[in-house]
Chain A
């Protein structure tokens, strides 16, 4: 039987009293790379926030490592979340710390490892994401791509069992995007880290994802292997993979509607 790390049961998540996602049923298996797809505002990032303990669900259950994340005590929840890593869309690096300090920070706070090992671990992770030599730099002196890579190094520094990445390669050049894809795959292959990415990058999805889950209108519209989704004829899925814009609501009759016969 597959080892399930994340399981959503009839999950609804939203802000205030407005659900963004409803009736979500999904499972993420250990050792897989799963891509969450869908148009902007469809709730992918909201689901990640719920899984990482930042957005309590409105209804349903969310199980992380077999425990109901929002039914356990705060201390137990923190314990579960320490087994995960999250690379935020906006990188969320601490501006007052150097890149090395940013990456080493979770180790310093959570473990009792000697400084030499902590520093070495941080250097290895920075080398893995191609940031050797950037250790002493301040986050604001790095480019967007470099900051994202540093955020990925920080998210993986505790060797989490599962790492969540919110648009890790958005806005990056193809070479840097491929480097990030390669790093994520190596995390899974060499360190056994399960990876969940939210992305719009078709090349990334094809390169690394074992499974893809597509969201639309607040629900899951398709799930399966990337090849299965690419062959799907469901309109949302087909449009996404073939980069087809939906029919524009403007009907070309606006000018006619503005014109009207002179009233007496």
Chain B
């Protein structure tokens, strides 16, 4: 036991004798002892006796500070006895007014209409910033195309290599897996009606119109969109974007344009690879499961998949690239704070991109069916 309490009933004084070091391992027991004394109604004064005490560390200081407040709250006097010079020096580290938290005025919580209004204003502000970003990108792209300004040397090639070439493996692999899954599912259903061969038509149309562009976009959202947001967000947090502004260099032209241009070029190419390998995966399943000759598979594809389907798929891939690129740039540039802000920007990029990709895809499908 690091402390023993003696009570002098005549003077109603409790003396707490501290024994040994008053440090992290012993502090909780002493704190418990002092809390017990603070609750006693027969005590008017509490003295902590350091005659047998050793070293006092920050935990000991914290206990003394807490005890002083407890006693003050209970209307008890509080004092120390037999302090050595070192112990006194340690206790003098305590702030004069105690380390009590300053009183903080309770802030009025906004009501529901105010919260909704604030949220709408926030969205409107973010929307305005997004449109301003798009306008700036278009203006800078126009100046680059008109050869009035130029992109940083090698930036487009570097970005295209990172976003495109490095992604070929994962995009191709998932294309094959998607094609085989699609073929299996289609065969199971269509063979019940003796129409298994028409699975080739279904694979072709699905991969070219929907799955190719959509799957590639989803992969690139997680891979490229998140990377753009994280990279720009980190630069914002480290004041690198401010440095560009201060130098009179447009961050849009220096950072955003190469990324957006690279994505616009590489996403259709990756989509094409995904479509082709998906169709190839379907062919393998059809050959193994139905012993369908490749020529028949090919004939069905050519007769069913039109140039219009192909152009629609490629057009969507460019649209999706812009959704991913602009969303990543928008949230990356709006990053504030520190590492957690970068994480938030990345998460928002992925969620918002996927939402708008699916929304735009659904709109195109609906418009295509209506008109």
Which residues of A approach B to under 8 Å, CB–CB? 95-96, 111-114, 116-118, 120-121, 123-128, 132-133, 135-136, 138-140, 156-159, 186, 189-192
Q: Indicate if the CB atoms of A186 and B101 lie closer than 8 Å.
A: no
20 residue pairs from A and B, CB less than 8 Å apart: A95-B338, A96-B338, A96-B339, A113-B24, A113-B28, A120-B63, A120-B66, A120-B99, A121-B61, A124-B65, A126-B99, A127-B94, A127-B95, A132-B102, A133-B102, A138-B337, A158-B24, A159-B57, A190-B92, A191-B90
Q: Indicate if the CB atoms of A95 and B65 lie closer than 8 Å.
A: no
Contacts of B162 in A (CB 8 A): none
Contacts of A159 in B (CB 8 A): 23-24, 57-59
CB of B31 closer than 8 Å to a CB of A: yes
CB distance from A186 to the nearest CB of B (A): 6
Q: Indicate if the CB atoms of A96 and B340 lie closer than 8 Å.
A: yes
Which residues of B approach A to under 8 Å, CB–CB? 23-24, 27-28, 31, 55, 57-59, 61-63, 65-66, 86, 89-90, 92-95, 99-102, 104, 337-341
CB distance from A102 to the nearest CB of B (A): 12
Contacts of A156 in B (CB 8 A): 58
Q: Indicate if the CB atoms of A117 and B338 lie closer than 8 Å.
A: no
Q: Indicate if the CB atoms of A121 and B89 lie closer than 8 Å.
A: no
Q: Indicate if the CB atoms of A113 and B90 lie closer than 8 Å.
A: no
Q: What are the 8 tightest A-B residue pairs by CB atom distance, in nearest-first order?
A: A95-B338, A120-B62, A123-B99, A127-B95, A121-B62, A190-B89, A159-B57, A96-B340
Bound-state CA distance A124–B101 (Å) is 10
Q: Indicate if the CB atoms of B93 and A135 lie closer than 8 Å.
A: no
Bound-state CA distance A156–B63 (Å) is 17
Bound-state CA distance A123–B58 (Å) is 11
Contacts of A123 in B (CB 8 A): 99-101
Choice from B63, B90, B93, B102 contacting A117 with Cβ under 8 Å: B63
- A95 to chain B: closest residue by CB: B338
Contacts of A111 in B (CB 8 A): 24, 59
Q: Indicate if the CB atoms of B27 and A117 lie closer than 8 Å.
A: yes
Q: Indicate if the CB atoms of B57 and A117 lie closer than 8 Å.
A: no
Choice from A118, A135, A189 contacting B89 with Cβ under 8 Å: A189
- A125 to chain B: closest residue by CB: B58
CB distance from B299 to the nearest CB of A (A): 59
Choice from B58, B95, B337, B341 contacting A121 with Cβ under 8 Å: B58
Would A124 and B337 be within 8 Å (CB), given that A116-B31, A192-B55 are in contact? no
- A130 to chain B: closest residue by CB: B95
Contacts of B59 in A (CB 8 A): 111, 113, 117, 121, 159
CB distance from A136 to the nearest CB of B (A): 8
Contacts of A140 in B (CB 8 A): 337-338
Choice from A114, A127, A133 contacting B28 with Cβ under 8 Å: A114
Contacts of B104 in A (CB 8 A): 136
Bound-state CA distance A84–B359 (Å) is 55
- A159 to chain B: closest residue by CB: B57
Choice from A135, A136, A157 contacting B58 with Cβ under 8 Å: A157
Would A190 and B24 be within 8 Å (CB), given that A123-B101, A124-B58 are in contact? no
The residue in B31, B61, B104, B339 that gathers the most chain A C-beta atoms within 10 A of its C-beta is B61
Contacts of B61 in A (CB 8 A): 121, 124
Contacts of A120 in B (CB 8 A): 62-63, 65-66, 99
